[in-house]
């Protein structure tokens, strides 16, 4: 933690003045701020990150909207956002919308009416009312891990197409030709991109003959349990699953184990997520992932760039995911006939 008392003594100013500098108060003159920055440099501390001039005229709040803040992936994105904003002296106002569109839109209107610096949307879905609202927004909006086709705005997103391609390649290379893709919400652009990437890999790598089917639904442990029950009732028609996130995967794993099946010997699982939950029941799931905390920090940097250059071209930051291979995908090519 930065010792503001030491900085004040070194700079020859009061501790209150240093505190105002850290919150970027207009009451600190440029000359005094320079003394504080020099004192910090002499103490081996990084300089205070100054907000763009456009941001100084607004309330130092940023609205962060997520459909489910209990979701590990989303919570880590939000943590990255909050930590980065805190370092800039900005307060994050977090809204858990429960994927309720009217709630999200009302929160955005509130942020506009109260002169917030901007809005960061973590789980936006494409819908006409949101599109109309964002097209006329008077404050900048950044999408994280989502985008909508009808609005051109700043986006920080995993390359979900590449993620789907990587997942399919892994399963195909391990000899799987009977694959279920357990996706989440069909309206989600990340899901659509992963589906396209997965299908492209199937076509390019041409595992013939193969059976591939997509199942859409909500993101929850209960949904995973229900899917596993259906698989067992249908006689386990697949050798491998590509699962949308850790919550669904945990539900599947728990139910599969309860039925006496083994992973990966009886069913391989590859998950698009990486969280502590994937180790439930002692299982180390193979995953396609990107660090959500870093995504959150990148989203704030993108927002700051927009505040500094309001008329610049929109930023589309595409983050490349990686395959983490653990023990949940069986190589069928190595198995005896």
Q: What is the pLDDT of residues 128-181, one digit of tens each?
A: 788 888 888 889 999 998 777 778 889 999 999 999 999 999 999 999 999 999
> For residue 236, what are its two tokens?
């386990």
Least confident interval from 21-30, 254-263, 282-291: 21-30
CATH class of 160-290+323-334: alpha beta
pLDDT category at 281 given cuts 50, 70, 90 is low
Strand partners, 144: 156
Q: Residue 238: its pLDDT value, please?
A: 96
Kindly give, in sequence order, each residue whose CB lies less than 8 Å from that of residue 281, ignoring residues fewer than 6 positions away.
Answer: 250, 253, 254, 257
Among 332, 328, 323, 335, which residue's Cα sits nearest to residue 174? 332
Query: Chain-wide mean pLDDT for the chain?
Result: 87
* Structure-model confidence comparison of residues 2 and 320, the more confident one: 320
What is the share, in percent, of the chain residues with pLDDT greater than 70? 90
Own/partner long-range contacts of 235-238 (Cβ < 8 Å, ≥24 apart): 236/261, 236/266, 236/267, 237/178, 237/180, 237/211, 238/178, 238/179, 238/180, 238/211, 238/267
Task: Tell me where in the chain the CATH 3.40.50.2300 domain(s) lie.
Answer: 53-157+292-320, 160-290+323-334
Would the pLDDT of 54 be above 60?
no
- Model pLDDT, residue 122: 92
Residue 2: the pLDDT is 60
**pLDDT value for 53:** 57
Give the CA-trace dihedral at 310, 314, 318, 319, to 10 degrees: 0
pLDDT at 271: 93
Please state whether beta strands 178-182 and 211-215 pair in parallel, antiparallel, or not at all (unpaired): parallel
Q: What local confidence, expressed as pLDDT, does residue 3 receive?
A: 77
- The pLDDT of residue 183: 94
Query: What's the CATH superfamily of 53-157+292-320?
Result: Response regulator (3.40.50.2300)
Confidence of residue 85 (pLDDT cuts 50, 70, 90): very high
Residue with tokens 């986006």: 155
Helix (H, G, I), strand (E, B) or coil at 251: helix
**Of 75, 46, 210, 246, nearest to 145 (Cα)?**
75
pLDDT greater at residue 18 or residue 181: 181
**CA 91 to the chain's CA centroid:** 20
Distances (CA, A) of 259 to 29, 81, 284: 69, 41, 19
Chain-centroid distance, C-alpha 337: 42
């Amino acid at each position: 933690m930065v010792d503001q008392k030491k900085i004040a003594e070194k700079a020859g100013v009061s501790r209150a003045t240093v505190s105002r500098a850290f919150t970027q108060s207009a009451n600190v003159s440029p000359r005094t701020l320079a003394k504080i920055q020099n004192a910090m440099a002499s103490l081996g501390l990084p300089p205070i990150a100054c907000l763009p001039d456009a941001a100084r005229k607004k309330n130092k709040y940023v609205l962060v909207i997520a459909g489910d803040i209990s979701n590990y992936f989303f919570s880590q994105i939000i943590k990255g956002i909050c930590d980065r904003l805190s370092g800039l002296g900005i307060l994050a106002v977090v809204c858990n919308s429960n994927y309720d569109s009217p709630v999200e839109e009302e929160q955005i209107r509130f942020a506009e009416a109260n002169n917030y610096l901007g809005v960061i949307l973590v789980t936006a879905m494409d819908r006409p009312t949101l599109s109309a609202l964002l097209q006329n927004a008077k404050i900048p909006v950044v999408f994280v891990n989502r985008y909508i086709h009808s609005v051109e705005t700043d986006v920080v997103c995993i390359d979900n197409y590449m993620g789907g391609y990587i997942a399919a390649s892994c399963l195909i290379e391990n000899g799987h030709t009977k694959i279920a893709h357990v996706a989440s919400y069909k309206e989600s652009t990340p899901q659509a991109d992963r589906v396209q990437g997965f299908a492209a890999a199937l076509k390019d790598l041409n595992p013939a003959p193969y059976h591939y089917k997509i199942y859409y639904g909500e993101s929850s442990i209960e949904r995973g349990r229900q899917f596993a029950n259906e698989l067992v009732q249908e006689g386990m028609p697949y050798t491998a699953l590509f699962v949308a996130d850790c919550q669904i995967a945990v539900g599947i794993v728990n139910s599969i184990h309860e039925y006496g099946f083994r992973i990966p010997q009886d069913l391989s699982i590859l998950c698009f997520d990486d969280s502590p939950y994937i180790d439930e029941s002692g299982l180390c799931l193979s995953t396609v992932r990107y660090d959500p905390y870093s995504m959150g920090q990148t989203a704030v940097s993108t927002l700051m760039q927009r505040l500094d250059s309001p008329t610049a071209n929109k930023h589309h930051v595409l983050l490349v995911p990686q395959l983490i291979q653990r023990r949940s995908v069986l190589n069928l090519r190595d198995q005896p006939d």
